[in-house]
Structure 1
Amino acid sequence: MASSSSYEKYDIRKRNPNPKSCVLLVIDMQNYFSTIAKPILPSITTTIDLCRRASIPIIFTRHCHKSPADYGMLGEWWNNDLVFDGTPEAELMPELRRLPSEEVVEKNTYSAFRATDLEDRLKEIGVEEVIVTGVMTNLCCETTAREAFVRGFRVFFSTDATATSSLELHEATLMNIAYGFAYLVDCKKLKNALSSVANS
């Protein structure tokens, strides 16, 4: 989604994910966000396919609200324009072709770690690294990436399999994330990294 010129000066740390200790997080690729999400579907599905072939576990998140008790500040911030559980908008986009064995974590705020069992689940399966993809770059993806970092996970953040409402916001997050929280990757880098591991 972004040209590299805006954030490349911050993208100075280089590392490849370890398929034996990482997981792919696919954040909130739901019908509600389809306008933002559709342009990155090719990159998302490519990333998912690469991770499946490398036997990297994939966890999807689904943002939804069940009652006013779980709105928190989001209700005030977005004037109750929220994603409600049980509606078609709350469902994952069918184009993702999620497998029945792939987990879905439900959340009701920006972070996939807050008030969920995600951290316990990752530790249970020996995960030390997360690859963050999905929507929105500057809200749920960024918050999840930052929280993963402070909880001790190594973070890889996709530049082409994340999206938000504007290029300006997308690139601002990539600058911040590269500066302090995550290694930046894209489909090409991920493919090369996973291929080199498979061939070693």
Structure 2
Amino acid sequence: MNIAADPYPFDFVPERCALLIIDMQRDFLEPGGFGEMLGNDVSQLRRAIEPNVKLLAAWRAAKLRVIHTREGHLPDLTDLHAAKKNRGSHAMRIGDEGPMGRILVRGERGHDIIPELYPQGEEPVVDKPGKGAFHATDLHDLLKHQGIRQLVVTGVTTEVCVSTTVREANDRGYDCLIVEDCVASYFPEFHKWSLEMTKAQGGIFGWVSESRHLLAALEKWSARSDANAGSAGNVMMNQKGGTTPIC
């Protein structure tokens, strides 16, 4: 099933694909959180919430795999190396007390995923100490165990955790499709050029598309799955009761 994308159509294989939602956390997206305290305009990120909500609902309805990530650290910060700790604002550091608890510390309110996109059921949540979702996590093993070879990637921020994760995934052999209206940055120019770099040179890191194309593909997939289920049910009825299958 082809999905319209840049630099060319993406060969979508739903059974081998997972929706990977990157770091849609309160500290990054909500007013008063860490992101806003650093002087960023969180409305730039919040515009990605509604498209993510719609895509996630359709993905769940199609009964396809969903994986969430959160960036954060152990309470004792033993997984926070100096190269990360010593960068950023000197007025506010990871582990400091913020308006939503200790900044980017696991278990704190600000570290958690926003209510609009909160994980359901057995959807895995990968807690990552770095920018990429593969660094120091079991994500690669999880994907291999589930037979996943494709990732549809959404979340924040486009140029940091989304881009890093896509590059890590590319090096591990995964085909990645970034959903343009479902990723966001505090800096529109960074968002734009990160997507341009992803699809440059024939898709050096992956593909870029829009949620409307994914939603259309999911609708077709769900209709096909329902039709196949109905056909299987009719065959079973024919085997048991001698009725004629409805085609």
The answer to whether the superposition gives a TM-score over 0.5 is yes
Is residue 57 of structure 2 the alignment partner of residue 39 of structure 1? no
Identical aligned residues as a percent: 30
Which stretches in structure 1 are left out of the alignment for 5+ residues?
A: 1-9
- 1:64 aligned residue: 72
Q: 1:104 aligns with which of 119, 125, 142?
A: 125
* CA shift for structure 1 position 199: 4.4
**Is residue 6–residue 209 contact of structure 2 (8 Å, CA) maintained in 1?**
no
Is residue 57 of structure 2 the alignment partner of residue 49 of structure 1? yes
Following TM superposition, where does structure 1 have runs of at least 4 consecutive aligned residues deviating by more than 6 angstroms? none
**Is residue 60–residue 105 contact of structure 1 (8 Å, CA) maintained in 2?**
yes
Give the letter for the 2:65 counterpart. P
- 1:192 aligned residue: 216
Give the letter for the 2:173 counterpart. G
* CA shift for structure 1 position 16: 3.8
Q: 2: distance between equivalents of 1:178 and 1:81? A: 34
Q: 1: distance between equivalents of 2:118 and 2:136? A: 27
Q: 1: distance between equivalents of 2:28 and 2:69? A: 13
Q: 2: distance between equivalents of 1:188 and 1:149? A: 24
- 2:239 aligned residue: none
Q: 2: distance between equivalents of 1:141 and 1:160? A: 13
List per-residue Cα deviations over 1:129-169 (Å, max 9, x = no partner). Answer: 00110011100000001111110011111100001111100
Q: 2: distance between equivalents of 1:17 and 1:37? A: 27
- 1:77 aligned residue: 87
Give the letter for the 1:183 counterpart. W
* CA shift for structure 1 position 54: 1.9
Matches of residues 1-200 of structure 1 in structure 2 within 5 Å? 11-34=6-29, 35=42, 36-66=44-74, 67-72=76-81, 73-78=83-88, 79=90, 81-82=93-94, 83-179=104-200, 180-199=204-223
**Is residue 17–residue 156 contact of structure 1 (8 Å, CA) maintained in 2?**
no
Q: 1: distance between equivalents of 2:189 and 2:60? A: 32
Max radius of gyration: which structure? 2
- 1:4 aligned residue: none
Q: 2: distance between equivalents of 1:148 and 1:168? A: 24
Q: 1: distance between equivalents of 2:23 and 2:7? A: 28
* CA shift for structure 1 position 22: 0.3
**Is residue 19–residue 54 contact of structure 1 (8 Å, CA) maintained in 2?**
no
